[in-house]
Amino acid sequence: MSPSTSPRLFMEREVARHCTKDSCWVLLGTRVYDVTSFLRMHPGGEALILRRSGKDVSREMEGPPHRHSENARRWMEQYYIGELDRDSGADEAQVESGITDPHLAI
């Protein structure tokens, strides 16, 4: 993604839906990564990532059992696809509750 391009934004619900071998996304804080093509290459096996797919993997990256290297973090950047849209949380709650007018939400 070029520096002049705004990152694509994803809602948490959308990230959570990508939890299979065919489409595996993870969060690292608010950054979204599509690690589908990396599953077979993960040194710890694809099952470790699949169990955490659709979720934030920050704790796993920091350890225990081990802290991932700076090289692993740089490697992960090639799978970056966008950012978590933190502002959409309130909008999602309104939609789920049936409130469509933001002025009515309290």
Task: Flag whether 72 is in a domain.
Answer: yes
Task: Flag whether 106 is in a domain.
Answer: no
Task: Flag whether 29 is in a domain.
Answer: yes
CA distance 52 to 55: 6
Task: Flag whether 2 is in a domain.
Answer: no
CA distance 93 to 6: 25
pTM over 0.85: no
Task: Flag whether 30 is in a domain.
Answer: yes
State which residues form the domain around 37: 9-97
CA distance 18 to 31: 15
Other CB atoms closer than 10 Å to residue 64's CB: what's the count?
A: 7
Task: Flag whether 92 is in a domain.
Answer: yes
Q: What is the CATH classification number for the domain harbouring 28?
A: 3.10.120.10
Q: Is the dihedral of CA 37, 43, 45, 50 positive or negative?
A: negative
Q: What is the pLDDT of residues 54-101, one digit of tens each?
A: 999 999 998 877 788 899 889 999 999 999 998 865 444 444 444 444
Instruction: Provide the number of structural domains found in the chain.
Output: 1
Task: Report whether 32 contacts 10 (CB < 8 A).
Answer: yes
- Give the per-residue pLDDT at 88: 62
Task: Report whether 28 contacts 58 (CB < 8 A).
Answer: yes
Task: Flag whether 90 is in a domain.
Answer: yes
Task: Flag whether 76 is in a domain.
Answer: yes
Q: What is the pLDDT of residues 23-55, one digit of tens each?
A: 999 999 999 999 999 999 998 899 999 999 999
